[in-house]
Structure 1
Amino acid sequence: MTFLNKLVNRALKDPYVSTLLKKLEMQYAIHFMGSNTTLQSLTEKEYLDLLRFADILCRSEKYEARNKAYKIISLLYVFYSDDQMFKLQAYNVLVKLGNFPSIKIVLGETEVKADEIIIDHIVKETYQAAPGSSKIFTDTQYKLFEKMKDSNHFSFSGPTSFGKSFIFESFIKYLIEKRNGADNIALLVPTRALINQVSTKLKTVVNNEKYKILTKPIVPLLYKQGETRFIFVFTPERLISYLSENNPVINYLLVDEAHKLLSDTDTRAPLFYHALMIAKRKSINLYFSSPNVPNTEVFLQLVGNSVEETLAIKENSVAQNRFFIDCIEKQALYFSEYSEEFALEYSGYASDPHINLKNAIDILGRNNPNIIYCNTKDDTILYALEYARTLPLRNNYELEQLTNLVQETMHEEYYLVDCLKKGVAYHFGGLPQRVREKIELLFQKRIIKNIFCTSTLLEGVNLPAKNIFILSNAIGLTKLSKIDFWNLAGRAGRLTEDLSGNIICLRIVNKRNRWEDPSKDLQIVKDKSVEKVSSVLMTNQGKFYTNIGRSIKNEPFTRKTVTDNEKRMLDSYGNILAYHALSKTDSILRSKFIDGNTHAKEIITYLEKLNKVPEKILSQSSTIKLLYQNKVLSSSIKPMDIPKETGYGDCLSLLNKLYDLYDWQREESGGRNPLARNRNVLEYYAVLMSSWINSQPVNLIIKRTINYFDENNKEISISNGEFVTFQKENRAHINHIVNNVISDIENVLRFKIKIYVKNYVDLLKIKYQINEEEIVVIPNWDNFLEYGTTDNIIIELQNLGFQRHIATFLKNKYLELFVLEKGVIIDFQENELKEKLQRSNFTQEYEEISNTLGWG
Structure 2
Amino acid sequence: MQLKEKERDLLNILLRYDLEVFAKKLNLIKSEIGKLDETVVVSLLNLAERLSRKASDDIGRNVCLTICGLIWEHREREWNNLSRFLMQIMSRIGLIPTVKMIDTKFDKESNTYSDLGSLIAQFKFKAKLEDYSVSVVENNFISLSSFQKRMWDSIEDYKRVGISAPTSAGKSYVLANKIINLLEKNSGSCVYIVPTITLINQVSSDFRKIVKDLDLKNYNISQTFAEKYVNPQAKNIFVLTQERALSAISQNSKYFSEVELLVIDEIQNIERVANEDNDRSRDLYNLIQEFENTYQPDKIVVAGPRLKNINELVRKLFGDNAKSVSNELPPVLNISYSFVQQSNGIFFRQYSVLNDKPQSIRVNNFPTDGSKFFKKVQFRQPTFDVINHILNHLGENEGNIIFSPTKATANKIAGSIAKRNHNPNQDLQSLIKYISSSIHPNYSLVNCLNNSTAYHHANVPQYIRMVVEKAFSKNVIKNIVCTTTLMQGVNLPAKNIIARNQNLSNKKQGAKLTPYEFANLRGRAGRLMKDFVGRAIILDENAFEDTQTKLYEYPEKEVSSGYGVRFKENEIEIRKTLSQGDKIVEENSFNDLSIHVRHMVLKHKKNSIERLRNTGIYLSETEYKAVRDQLKKLDVPKEIIIKNSHWDPFVLNELYLNRKYHKLPSSPFDLHFVDKLQGVINMIKSVSPYYYSKYLGIENDRLLKKCLINAQEWCREKPINQIVKWGGVPSEEEIDKILELLNTTIVFQIPKLLYPILHFEDDENPILSFMEQGAYNYSTRRLIEYGIPRELAINLKKLFDDEKLRDEPLKFTDRYIQKKLNKAYLNNNISKWEKVQLESYM
TM-score band, normalised by the shorter chain? 0.7 to 0.9
Deviations 1:713-768 (A, max 9, x none): xxxxxxxxxxxxxxx67x34324324423433xxx323232233222121235xxx
Unaligned runs of 5+ in 2: 106-113, 370-381
Q: Which amino acid aligns with 2:43?
A: D
SS at match of 2:551: helix
Deviations 1:489-523 (A, max 9, x none): 1111122232211111113xxxxxxx663323472
2:129 pairs with one of 125, 131, 134: 125
Compared with structure 1, are the counterparts of its residues 373 and 655 closer, same or farther at alpha carbon in structure 2 (3 Å cutoff)?
Answer: same
2:216 pairs with one of 204, 208, 231: 208
Give the corresponding residue for 1:324: 338
State the 1:228 CA deviation.
1.8
**Matched-pair contact (CA < 8 Å) for 1:669–1:678:** no
Compared with structure 1, are the counterparts of its residues 670 and 830 closer, same or farther at alpha carbon in structure 2 (3 Å cutoff)?
Answer: closer
State the 1:325 CA deviation.
1.2
State the 1:818 CA deviation.
8.3
In structure 2, C-alpha distance between the alignment counterparts of 1:818 and 1:114, rounded to whole Å: 67
Give the corresponding residue for 2:167: 160
Compared with structure 1, are the counterparts of its residues 372 and 549 closer, same or farther at alpha carbon in structure 2 (3 Å cutoff)?
Answer: farther
In structure 1, C-alpha distance between the alignment counterparts of 2:582 and 2:225, rounded to whole Å: 36
State the 1:86 CA deviation.
3.7
Matched, 1:498 2:531: yes
Give the corresponding residue for 2:718: 696
Give the corresponding residue for 1:787: 773
Q: Which amino acid aligns with 2:743?
A: S
Deviations 1:696-728 (A, max 9, x none): 112222223xx2xx8xxxxxxxxxxxxxxxxx6
Q: Which amino acid aligns with 2:835?
A: E
2:683 pairs with one of 660, 669, 673: 660
Q: Which amino acid aligns with 1:583?
A: K
Compared with structure 1, are the counterparts of its residues 191 and 793 closer, same or farther at alpha carbon in structure 2 (3 Å cutoff)?
Answer: same
Compared with structure 1, are the counterparts of its residues 90 and 269 closer, same or farther at alpha carbon in structure 2 (3 Å cutoff)?
Answer: same
Deviations 1:69-93 (A, max 9, x none): 1111112223335424643431221
2:412 pairs with one of 382, 387, 390: 382
SS at match of 2:236: strand
In structure 2, C-alpha distance between the alignment counterparts of 1:502 and 1:597, rounded to whole Å: 55
State the 1:196 CA deviation.
1.5
More deviation, 182-191/835-844:
835-844
More deviation, 209-218/335-344:
335-344
In structure 2, C-alpha distance between the alignment counterparts of 1:208 and 1:549, rounded to whole Å: 55
Give the corresponding residue for 2:188: 183
**Matched-pair contact (CA < 8 Å) for 2:336–2:522:** no
Give the corresponding residue for 1:368: 398
**Matched-pair contact (CA < 8 Å) for 1:581–1:590:** no
**Matched-pair contact (CA < 8 Å) for 2:581–2:630:** no
**Matched-pair contact (CA < 8 Å) for 1:818–1:829:** no
**Matched-pair contact (CA < 8 Å) for 1:621–1:755:** no
Compared with structure 1, are the counterparts of its residues 186 and 644 closer, same or farther at alpha carbon in structure 2 (3 Å cutoff)?
Answer: closer
Give the corresponding residue for 2:85: 89
More deviation, 277-286/455-464:
277-286
SS at match of 1:276: helix
State the 1:604 CA deviation.
3.5
Aligned length: 786
1:282 pairs with one of 295, 300, 303: 295
1:115 pairs with one of 107, 114, 119: 119
1:454 pairs with one of 467, 483, 495: 483
Q: Which amino acid aligns with 2:768?
A: D
In structure 2, C-alpha distance between the alignment counterparts of 1:396 and 1:690, rounded to whole Å: 39
In structure 2, C-alpha distance between the alignment counterparts of 1:393 and 1:362, rounded to whole Å: 11
In structure 2, C-alpha distance between the alignment counterparts of 1:834 and 1:336, rounded to whole Å: 48
Compared with structure 1, are the counterparts of its residues 375 and 14 closer, same or farther at alpha carbon in structure 2 (3 Å cutoff)?
Answer: same
Deviations 1:420-456 (A, max 9, x none): 1221111112212221111111111112111111110
SS at match of 2:74: helix
Q: Which amino acid aligns with 1:101?
A: P
Give the corresponding residue for 1:725: none
Matched, 1:250 2:259: yes
**Matched-pair contact (CA < 8 Å) for 1:545–1:593:** no
**Matched-pair contact (CA < 8 Å) for 1:649–1:686:** no
Q: Which amino acid aligns with 1:539?
A: V
Give the corresponding residue for 1:55: 49
Give the corresponding residue for 1:64: 59
SS at match of 1:375: coil
In structure 1, C-alpha distance between the alignment counterparts of 2:615 and 2:807, rounded to whole Å: 50
State the 1:204 CA deviation.
0.8
Deviations 1:597-641 (A, max 9, x none): 9995587356544555555433432222222112223x1422872
In structure 2, C-alpha distance between the alignment counterparts of 1:481 and 1:156, rounded to whole Å: 21
Deviations 1:129-162 (A, max 9, x none): 2424553101111122111111111110100110
Give the corresponding residue for 2:110: none
Deviations 1:187-209 (A, max 9, x none): 10101222122212211112431
2:199 pairs with one of 194, 198, 204: 194
Deviations 1:258-287 (A, max 9, x none): 111113466521122122222222213321
In structure 2, C-alpha distance between the alignment counterparts of 1:802 and 1:315, rounded to whole Å: 37
User: What pairs up with 1:15-34 in 2 under 5 angstroms?
Assistant: 15-34=5-24
Give the corresponding residue for 1:581: 601
**Matched-pair contact (CA < 8 Å) for 1:754–1:786:** yes
SS at match of 2:618: helix
User: What pairs up with 1:436-585 in 2 under 5 angstroms?
Assistant: 436-476=465-505, 477-507=510-540, 517-521=543-547, 523-535=549-561, 537-540=563-566, 543-546=569-572, 567=588, 570-584=590-604, 585=608
Q: Which amino acid aligns with 1:16?
A: K
State the 1:121 CA deviation.
2.1
In structure 1, C-alpha distance between the alignment counterparts of 2:271 and 2:237, rounded to whole Å: 26
More deviation, 294-303/371-380:
294-303
More deviation, 420-429/124-133:
124-133
1:233 pairs with one of 239, 254, 261: 239
SS at match of 2:63: helix
State the 1:55 CA deviation.
1.8
State the 1:394 CA deviation.
3.6
Q: Which amino acid aligns with 1:214?
A: S
Q: Which amino acid aligns with 1:117?
A: A
Q: Which amino acid aligns with 2:805?
A: L
Q: CA RMSD in A?
A: 3.3
**Matched-pair contact (CA < 8 Å) for 1:407–1:417:** yes
Matched, 1:426 2:455: yes
In structure 1, C-alpha distance between the alignment counterparts of 2:478 and 2:496, rounded to whole Å: 11
State the 1:213 CA deviation.
0.6
Q: Which amino acid aligns with 1:247?
A: Y
In structure 2, C-alpha distance between the alignment counterparts of 1:88 and 1:212, rounded to whole Å: 42
Q: Which amino acid aligns with 1:445?
A: K
State the 1:590 CA deviation.
4.5
**Matched-pair contact (CA < 8 Å) for 1:467–1:492:** yes
In structure 2, C-alpha distance between the alignment counterparts of 1:739 and 1:371, rounded to whole Å: 23
Deviations 1:551-592 (A, max 9, x none): 7678799xx9x9x6xx4x633344333222322347775555
Compared with structure 1, are the counterparts of its residues 594 and 376 closer, same or farther at alpha carbon in structure 2 (3 Å cutoff)?
Answer: closer
**Matched-pair contact (CA < 8 Å) for 2:19–2:350:** yes
**Matched-pair contact (CA < 8 Å) for 1:161–1:494:** yes
Compared with structure 1, are the counterparts of its residues 612 and 55 closer, same or farther at alpha carbon in structure 2 (3 Å cutoff)?
Answer: farther
State the 1:678 CA deviation.
4.8
Q: Which amino acid aligns with 1:736?
A: D
State the 1:183 CA deviation.
1.4
| TM-score normalised by structure 2 residue count | 0.85
More deviation, 522-531/279-288:
522-531
In structure 1, C-alpha distance between the alignment counterparts of 2:544 and 2:806, rounded to whole Å: 66
Matched, 1:356 2:370: no
| TM-score normalised by structure 1 residue count | 0.84
SS at match of 1:348: coil
User: What pairs up with 1:574-723 in 2 under 5 angstroms?
Assistant: 574-584=594-604, 585=608, 589-591=612-614, 594-595=617-618, 601=624, 604-605=627-628, 608-609=631-632, 611=634, 613-614=636-637, 616-633=639-656, 635-638=657-660, 641-646=663-668, 647=670, 649-661=672-684, 663=686, 666-668=689-691, 675-704=697-726, 707=727
In structure 1, C-alpha distance between the alignment counterparts of 2:33 and 2:622, rounded to whole Å: 70
Unaligned runs of 5+ in 1: 1-8, 508-514, 711-727, 766-770, 773-778
